[in-house]
Amino acid sequence: MTIEAMTPNGERMTLNMGPHHPATHGVLRIVVESDGEVVATCTPDHGYLHRSIEKIGECIDWPLFVPYTDRVDYVCAMNANLAYCLAVEQLLATDAASAVKVPLRGECIRVLVAELNRISSHLVAVGAMAMDVGAYTPFLHAIAQRELVNDIFEKLCGQRLTYNYVTIGGVAFDLYAQASEEITRFLDQFEREMVRFNKLITTSTIFRDRCASVAPVSAAEAIAWGLVGPNLRGSGVDWDLRRDESYGLYGQLAVRVPVGQCFAGRHGKVGDCFDRYVVRLLEIQESVRLCRETLKLLPPPAVKANDPTGGYQADVSRQLKKPPKGEVHCRTEAPRGEMGYFLVSDGTKVPYRVRCRTGSFSAAGIFHKVMRGIFLADVVTVIGSFDIVVPEIDR
């Protein structure tokens, strides 16, 4: 049914969602024009969390920008660190004299922390989405598991949220003793816990029917609107940078990519909210597998200095004083989709330009399209299913 048919007398009400609203995941403002229960237009208003992070990048040295990348996406700070550091390494590699080689152990630790962070980030996504549609308990289960990942990270680098752990040339600290055992133990209990979590909410008919067929995005639309990451894969597009343009250690790991295929059954459509939700859960499973694989590849720590495989960090202090001139764009697969950094260097120790491309931005771009004609109560479901994080939009 079209909007015009549903709104015969054309009377509309303007409704402001946000900037303070518990379901907008931060300070996103959405101006909804509705007729009764049906959304006619929906306009996101951004900028309530614009912290000028890109501008700060032009003021400080190359390595000092790493903590700010944490703040670009704080739910998966490790992946954000990794994206920037890979971009800088790619810039350094444009000149053979300044190229750095990250030791194998460093690469392994990077993949390990990135995948663990993907788990904890998707946990927030699925938990918060369940909370938005009215189920509070799954959220508590998800947060309880996230705390355990935070414990591991805290032992690793001393922070629970903004890690500043992945650095240019490797990682900041080596794994602590017993880290592998602790991570394995966490993964074992986590898999058992996920079975319970799925019983609690994913297989629940109420939840499934609430999300089925809501705001479906077809594969062609998803590509046209530039969706990335789980939102793109939820629409059935088989594309994952970890597999298709692999970086770091991912080339050796044979990443399996889950895609949306109308998981909600006959009531659903490919690319609806439930597909996006299930794709995230499947990605969590894949991340668990990748962590296990990586632990198998992990070489023992270095016993002597300058060990080419056992070290965790390559020294880059000399190169960063005078990096090569030029520009690079490096794309990585973060939990919210493609996170890419475009760097311009004029050969000094301060970047000329740092541009950051994030997944939530394109997800917010499609809002006004998918929200047309849905029910007002489904707006929060849609926002939850796209898993936006506001500083990624505003930066």
Partner 1 sequence: MNDHTQERPGNRLDEQVHFAAVDEFLAWGKENSLFYLLFATACCGIELMQAGGPRYDVDRLGMIPRATPRQADLMIVAGTITHKMAGRVRTLWEQMTEPRWVVSMGSCANSGGPFSKWSYSVLNGVDKYVPVDVYIPGCPPRPEALIDGVMALRERVRKYRTLGVRETTPHIVAGHEAPFGGGGCAVPPVVEKAKE
Stretch that binds partner 1, among 145-153, 178-186, 247-255, 343-351 (CB under 8 A): 145-153
CA distances from residue 221 to 14, 47, 272, 280, 348 in whole angstroms, order as listed: 27, 26, 12, 20, 42
HSE-up of residue 381 (Cα within 13 Å, Cβ side): 26
3-state secondary structure of 13: strand
With CB under 8 A as the contact rule, the residue among 6, 13, 22, 101 that binds partner 1 is 22
Instruction: Look up residue 270 and give its two tokens.
Output: 């490919």
Binds partner 1 (CB under 8 A): choice among 33, 61, 147, 315: 147
Nearer to ligand SF4, 154 or 307 (CB): 154
Member of 3, 15, 31, 56 binding partner 1 (CB under 8 A): 56
DSSP string of 276-319? HHHHHHHHHHHHHHHHHHHHHHPPPPPSSTT-TTT-SB---HHH
Question: Measured from the CB atom, is 291 or 339 closer to ligand SF4?
Answer: 339
Task: For ligand SF4, give the closer residue by CB, 24 or 294.
Answer: 24
Residue 160 beta carbon to ligand SF4: minimum distance, rounded to whole angstroms:
10
Whole-angstrom distance, CA of residue 352 vs CA of residue 359: 24
Q: Which secondary structure element, helix H or strand E, spans residue 188, and what is its range?
A: helix 179-197
Question: Which of 162, 164, 180, 218 touches ligand SF4 by CB under 6 A?
Answer: 162
Residue closer to partner 1 by CB (options 99, 143) is 143
Binding residues for ligand SF4, total number by CB under 6 A: 2
Q: Which of 119, 73, 80, 130 is nearest to 389 (CA)?
A: 73
Q: Does 55 bind partner 1 (CB under 8 A)?
A: yes
Phi, psi of 387 (to 5 degrees): 55, 60
Contact 16, 29 (CB under 8 A): yes
71 belongs to the binding site for ligand SF4 (CB under 6 A): yes
Binding at 48: pick from partner 1, ligand SF4, none (beta carbon under 5-8 Å per type): partner 1
Q: Which residue has the tokens 């965790």?
A: 312
Cα separation, 72 vs 354, in Å, equals: 12
Nearest distance from residue 395's CB to ligand SF4, in Å? 13
User: 14, 43, 52, 306: which one contacts partner 1 (CB under 8 A)?
Assistant: 52
Contact residues for partner 1, defined by CB under 8 A:
19-22, 26-27, 47-53, 55-56, 59-60, 67-68, 70-71, 74-75, 124, 140, 143-144, 146-147, 150, 160-162, 390-391
Contact residues for ligand SF4, defined by CB under 6 A:
71, 162
